[in-house]
Amino acid sequence: MEEFPDLPNSLGEWTFDTVVSLVKKYEFEPGTFDYKDVLNPTSTDVYREEHRESIRRTVCSMANTSGGVILFGVQDRKKEVAKSEDRIVGIPIGGDLRKHFGDKIMNIQPEVYFETTPQVLPLPNNQDRGIFIVRIPKSQRRPHMVQSTGAYYRRGENGTAIFMNHYEVREQMIYTEDRLQRVNLLRLEIAQYLEIAYSMSMEQVYVVKSLYRFDTGAFKVLLADICSLVPSHLLRTLLRIPLEANLINKHVENTSQPGKPSVMEAPLHYYINDRDGILHRVSELKKLCEQCETHLENIFGPLGRAGS
């Protein structure tokens, strides 16, 4: 984490000693961190709902501000202890804690992306309890709202979640809406690729004589505009789309190289290998485009309503 150079950048590199060092140094929770003693309360229904709301406010405020880290199994400053490391009490190890956390923040709109430690960090003196760590990045889709309260939150002093005012919400919405419109432009480009690919598939044996081509000039520019809005694995898949499209263009162009008869005059069987190669590439491109659009729709909603 750039703001805290003494801490590992990756949650996978965190250890129990990392937690101890953090709690000793930042006993009073700077804005980037939040300590919570439990993830799944076992007390009354009223307290359980209050706890869920507290988690939602924390997550929402972090996503809307500069991001942050939540440590479950660490008591906050309201609890008096003899020494700071006594705040580290752990939570029960067992069950799908990532799912439990995700279920608690489903009430936030739009959905918030989060990361967790690969495994709970067990307490040295009690292997049945450990520290569960969640990282909330600064969201590229902000502002986020807690649906149950209809409120937008940002991170305040001493790690408190405070209401965002009208102007703060409006500023974030304008910023995000501009970027989401660029997502729509990329998705429209993918939709056009799909339309051309389907048309080429319909040509079948006549595909070598088709005049269809893919214009890939703007694709990487559009992708660069939205790269911070999509997960890295999806970015890698999206980058394969112009590559496949250019391979199809090249394959079609090779059918009209010097020394070959014109595709408009030669018998169809002359270009049978070219035909099969082109149709295979077209099929691969269709799969890529459909796969990417499915992922993008899951993240941004139906095409034309991104961010709604």
The string of pLDDT tens digits covering residues 54-111 is: 999 999 999 999 899 999 999 987 777 778 888 999 999 989 999 999 999 999 998 8
Find the DSSP H helices in 121-214: 166-203
Q: Are 129 and 73 in contact (CB under 8 A)?
A: yes
pLDDT of residue 26: 76
Which CATH number, 1.20.120, 1.10.730, 1.25.40, 3.40.50, labels domain 170-300? 1.20.120
pLDDT of residue 308: 41
Q: Is the peptide bond before 110 cis (omega within 30 degrees of 0)?
A: yes
Sheet strands (E) in the chain: 33-36, 68-72, 91-92, 108-109, 115-116, 121-123, 126-136, 145-146, 151-155, 161-163
3-state helix, strand, coil in the chain (%, to 5): 50, 15, 35
- DSSP SS3 for 7: coil
pLDDT of residue 225: 85
Q: Which CATH superfamily is domain 11-164 in?
A: Schlafen, AAA domain (3.30.950.30)
Residue boundaries of the structural domains of the chain:
11-164, 170-300
Q: From CA 243, how far away is CA 46, in angstroms rounded?
A: 55
pLDDT of residue 174: 86
For the chain, which ranges sit under pLDDT 70? 1-5, 27-30, 44-46, 205-210, 254-274, 304-308
Q: Are 142 and 64 in contact (CB under 8 A)?
A: yes
